Structure 1
Amino acid sequence: MATTSREPRDSDVYDEAVRGTCDDASLCKRYAVSIGYWDDPYLEYFVRLPKERKAPEISRGYYARVRGVNQLMTAFLKKTECNCQIINLGAGLDTLFWKLKDENLLPKKYFEVDFPSIATRKIHTIKRSQPGLQPLCHHRCRPSRAAQTRGEPEEMQPGPPVRLPTLLIAECVLIYMTPEHSSCLLRWASSTFLASMFINYEQVNMADRFGQIMVENLQSRQCHLVGVEVCRSLETQKARFLTTGWETVNAMDMMKVYSCLPPADVKRMEALEFLDEKELLEQLMQHYCLCWATKDSPRLGLADIGL
Structure 2
Amino acid sequence: MKQFGRPVTMRPSAKGYYARVQGVNHLLDAFIKKTECNCQVINLGAGLDSTFWRLKDENLMPRKFFEVDFPTVVARKIHNIKTKPPLSKPIIETHSTDSLLLDGQSLDSDRYCIIGADLRDVANLDEKLKKFQLNPELPTLLLSECVLVYMTPLQSSNLVHWAAETFHTAMFINYEQVNMSDRFGQVMIENLQRRQCTLSGAEACQSLDSQRERFLRTGWEHANALDMMTVYSMLPQDDVARIERLEFLDERELLQQLLQHYSICWATKDKLNLGLSQLAF
2:142 matched to 1:168? yes
Query: Aligned partners of 2:119, 2:217: CA distance in 1, in Å?
Result: 21
Q: 1:218 to 1:303 in 2, by over 3 A?
A: same
Matches within 5 A, 1:198-277: 198-277=172-251
Per-residue CA deviations over 1:177-213 (Å, capped at 9, x if unaligned) read: 1110111111110111120000000000000111111
Query: Aligned partners of 1:204, 1:195: CA distance in 2, in Å?
Result: 27
Equivalent residue of 1:100, what SS?
helix
Equivalent residue of 1:271, what SS?
helix
Matches within 5 A, 1:1-307: 43=3, 46-48=4-6, 55-56=11-12, 58-129=13-84, 131-138=85-92, 139-140=100-101, 142=103, 143-144=105-106, 146-152=116-122, 153-154=125-126, 155-156=128-129, 157-307=131-281
Per-residue CA deviations over 1:96-123 (Å, capped at 9, x if unaligned) read: 0100000000100110000101111001
Equivalent residue of 1:132, what SS?
helix
Equivalent residue of 1:190, what SS?
helix
Per-residue CA deviations over 1:256-282 (Å, capped at 9, x if unaligned) read: 111111111111121112111001100
Q: 1:72 to 1:220 in 2, by over 3 A?
A: same
Q: 1:54 to 1:198 in 2, by over 3 A?
A: same
Amino acid at match of 2:225: A
Per-residue CA deviations over 1:21-74 (Å, capped at 9, x if unaligned) read: xxxxxxxxxxxxxxxxxxx5x74xx23469xx8742x11100000000000011
In the alignment, what sits opposite 1:27? none
Per-residue CA deviations over 1:194-249 (Å, capped at 9, x if unaligned) read: 20000000000000111111111111111110000110000100000000000000
**Any stretches of 5+ residues in structure 1 without a counterpart?**
1-39
Amino acid at match of 1:100: L
Equivalent residue of 2:246, what SS?
coil
TM-score by length of structure 1 reads 0.81
Higher relative contact order (CA 8 A, sep 6+): 1
Q: CA RMSD in A?
A: 1.7
In the alignment, what sits opposite 2:95? none
Amino acid at match of 1:250: N
Amino acid at match of 1:222: Q
- The answer (yes or no) to whether the contact 2:142–2:171 under 8 Å persists in 1 is yes
Amino acid at match of 1:136: P
Query: Aligned partners of 2:183, 2:138: CA distance in 1, in Å?
Result: 43
How many equivalent residue pairs?
261
Per-residue CA deviations over 1:106-150 (Å, capped at 9, x if unaligned) read: 100110000101111001011011x31111233445525752233
CA-CA distance at 1:283 after TM superposition: 0.6
Equivalent residue of 1:133, what SS?
helix
Query: Aligned partners of 1:101, 1:232: CA distance in 2, in Å?
Result: 37
- Whose strand fraction is larger, Structure 1's or Structure 2's? 2
Query: Aligned partners of 2:241, 2:38: CA distance in 1, in Å?
Result: 34
